[in-house]
Amino acid sequence: MKGYQIIEMKTEHEIRSVFPVMHELRPHLHEQEYVELVKEAVSVDRYRLYGLWNNGTLVAVTGFKPMTTLYYGRFVWVCDLVTTSTERSSGWGSILLQFIEKWGERNGFASVALSSGLKRERAHKFYEEHKQYGKVSVVFRKQLDT
């Protein structure tokens, strides 16, 4: 695959520019809320947002952050990974995961981890069979009254 670029989105304009693809993964977010959450995650959690362009067209987006926990040690948590619907199964997700893995290696992290919605069986197959990611836990969540 030639002609692609992976670029970090840092400015508000850049963050907004990848919203249409991110919105495919996070349809519950409105654009302004998305921008505010990304900015907060960058400043509070060291979140990194990258877009992947193929010959000038945005085809995939990822957001990840370096973390340290007693369970995983130092690792990279993939918060968001999405390829636009017209480009799925074209290899862009693999390219972004490889990019994240290399970023982690260069920055001294021991592993990469992520969670995936229970109903996303195609994504699970991709992670397990094609990218050699293993299931290590189940994520639980409780909505709080705020």
Domain residue ranges in the chain: 4-130
In contact, 100 and 113? CB cutoff 8 Å:
no
For residue 138, give both structure tokens.
Answer: 């189940």
Residues 104-114 pLDDT 10s: 999 999 999 99
Residue 134 CB partners (closer than 8 Å, separation 6+): 128
pLDDT of res. 52: 98
Q: Which CATH number fits domain 4-130: 3.40.630.30, 3.30.2320.50, 3.40.350.10, 3.40.50.1980?
A: 3.40.630.30
CA distance linking residue 74 with residue 64, whole number of Å:
13
- pTM score: 0.90
CA distance linking residue 38 with residue 43, whole number of Å:
9
pLDDT of res. 135: 84
- Give me the phi and psi of 4, to 5 degrees please: -105, 155
- The residue-averaged pLDDT of 54-81 equals 96
Label residue 1 by pLDDT band (50, 70, 90). low
In contact, 21 and 49? CB cutoff 8 Å:
no
Give the number of other CB atoms < 10 A from CB of residue 113.
Answer: 16
Residue 141 exposure: Cα atoms within 13 Å on the Cβ side: 5
131 vs 19, more confident: 19
- The residue-averaged pLDDT of 21-48 equals 97
CA distance linking residue 72 with residue 81, whole number of Å:
20
